[in-house]
Structure 1
Amino acid sequence: MNVADLNTINFEEGAVLLIDKPLDWTSFDVIRKIRNLIKIKKVGHAGTLDPLATGLLIVCTGKYTKKINEYMAQEKEYTGTFTLGATTPTYDLESQPENFKPYDYLSEADIQNAVQAFLGEIDQVPPIHSAIKKDGKRVYELARKGMDVKLEPRKIIIKEFEVDASQLPEVGFRVVCSTGTYIRSLAHDFGLALGCGAYLSSLRRTRIGTFRVENAVSIDTFEEIIKERKNRNLQQNT
């Protein structure tokens, strides 16, 4: 996305905005902010990022909201870290680590060998603390009430999976995967395969299809550009 284009885009007609979502913001926080700035209601995003994740969020406005499903279906790339030696109920740091186990017996070869089991088409069970609906209700709402939630595995594709185990207990990773993949579940399942447990400790989405986070703007930069655009328009009309 060319930043200069933000000065001329007709948001009502339709635009594709690449936003680098900040930490601790929900994806809807970004949508609400953009709606308030550009003063139109027809704004949506192509794929949720959890609050503790950063990175590429595709935001569509106006007529381009019809393209959201098309963008959501494209493969995605993520980087981040897994932390070995514990699990969390949410599979990330939205909840506290528990079930601590030793991990220092693992060799570099053990960790690299575990990667191989996750390449290609695999079955993955989504986390119960997710927005998937079951019997008409979000499963995270059921999980928070302490209800027993069972989800069926789904077919996903892990096209590329690279790890760096030089800084244990943190394992750096890069993943290229199909839509519908939960990186939190990948962290949890990776920990199970190693026998010591793991949870997702940081996550950044770096690519969706051909769209890259390097071409995205921060929400602060977006706000600054839109406010400057409004000020120019006011000056031209006075």
Structure 2
Amino acid sequence: MNTYEQGQVLLINKPLHWTSFDVVRKIRNSIGIKKVGHAGTLDPLATGLLIICTGKFTKKINEYMAREKEYSGSFTLGATTPTYDLESEPGNFKSIENLSYEEIKNTNQKFTGEILQIPPAHSAIKLEGKRVYQLARKGAEVKLEPRKILIKEFEVGEIRLPTVDFRIVCSTGTYIRSLANDFGEALGCGAYLSSLCRTRIGEFKLEDALSIEELANSN
């Protein structure tokens, strides 16, 4: 039994446009075993830390998924999208010329601490046995119940309108896309997630992660 079958935790920097399963499939081919899984999905348009478990360590996936997450990225104000990110086209354009920097900076306070969040209709959550994004793509009305999440830290960084940079530390189950949409709603102008990078999961940090190429070259 090789070390991958015995169990390893691999920290991978997921590239832009790759699905989390694309990474799993690539690593399966690279290390030559089938028992490989990831501990927490990153959307195709997100980059950053993906924890990959191999062999016997796939039993630890739920444990790693439950850990605190940290993200950095940007919202774009003045429009919304059906998916709350750039997987779909922006629309519902509204003026942001009357927004003050102070108003934008202070809006994070409405989303700090324990809050209720409605997940996006375009997500992998199951409703009546089907993924809700499949229902949403068919034009069906999707109603999801709010979920309790914890936003431990929410920093508004540089503001270069219409773009607002952020850093967020949150509990598992938090949808940053929903947070972007809710942030824009609170400002009255709409917003969508325009970039996202996961920088930490529990004690695991992005700076310690390998690229797909680096992992392939190490085998």
Question: Which bin holds the TM-score, normalised by the shorter protein?
Answer: over 0.9
What is the CA deviation profile of residues 99-157 of structure 1, one whole-angstrom value per residue up to 9, with x for unaligned ones?
00011211111012211010000000000000000000000000000001100000000
Aligned equivalent of 1:235:
none
| Structure 2 unaligned spans of 5+ | none
Task: Give the one of 122, 142, 154 matched to 1:129.
Answer: 122
Contact kept? 1:19, 1:59, Cα under 8 Å: yes
- Tell me the CA shift for residue 166 of structure 1: 2.6
Identity across the alignment (%):
72
Task: Give the one of 144, 147, 160 matched to 2:140.
Answer: 147
Matches within 5 A, 1:52-67: 52-67=45-60
Aligned equivalent of 2:64:
71
Contact kept? 1:121, 1:157, Cα under 8 Å: yes
Aligned equivalent of 2:92:
99
- Tell me the CA shift for residue 225 of structure 1: 1.3
Contact kept? 2:157, 2:167, Cα under 8 Å: no
Aligned equivalent of 1:233:
none
Contact kept? 2:74, 2:166, Cα under 8 Å: yes
The AA in structure 2 aligned to 1:196 is: C
Aligned equivalent of 2:206:
213
Matches within 5 A, 1:80-95: 80-95=73-88
- Tell me the CA shift for residue 27 of structure 1: 0.2
Is 1:157 matched up with 2:150? yes
Q: How far, CA to CA, are the matches of 1:166 and 1:75 in structure 2?
A: 26
The AA in structure 1 aligned to 2:157 is: D
SS of the residue 2:105 aligns to: helix
Is 1:195 matched up with 2:175? no
Aligned equivalent of 1:113:
106
Aligned equivalent of 1:231:
none
Matches within 5 A, 1:159-174: 159-174=152-167
Q: How far, CA to CA, are the matches of 1:46 and 1:90 in structure 2?
A: 23
- Tell me the CA shift for residue 87 of structure 1: 0.1
Contact kept? 1:108, 1:165, Cα under 8 Å: no
Aligned equivalent of 2:218:
225
Q: How far, CA to CA, are the matches of 2:172 and 2:97 in structure 1?
A: 34
Q: How far, CA to CA, are the matches of 1:117 and 1:90 in structure 2?
A: 22
Contact kept? 1:19, 1:218, Cα under 8 Å: yes
SS of the residue 1:117 aligns to: helix
Question: RMSD across aligned C-alpha pairs, in angstroms?
Answer: 0.8
Q: How far, CA to CA, are the matches of 1:195 and 1:15 in structure 2?
A: 47
Contact kept? 1:111, 1:165, Cα under 8 Å: no
| Structure 1 unaligned spans of 5+ | 1-8, 227-238
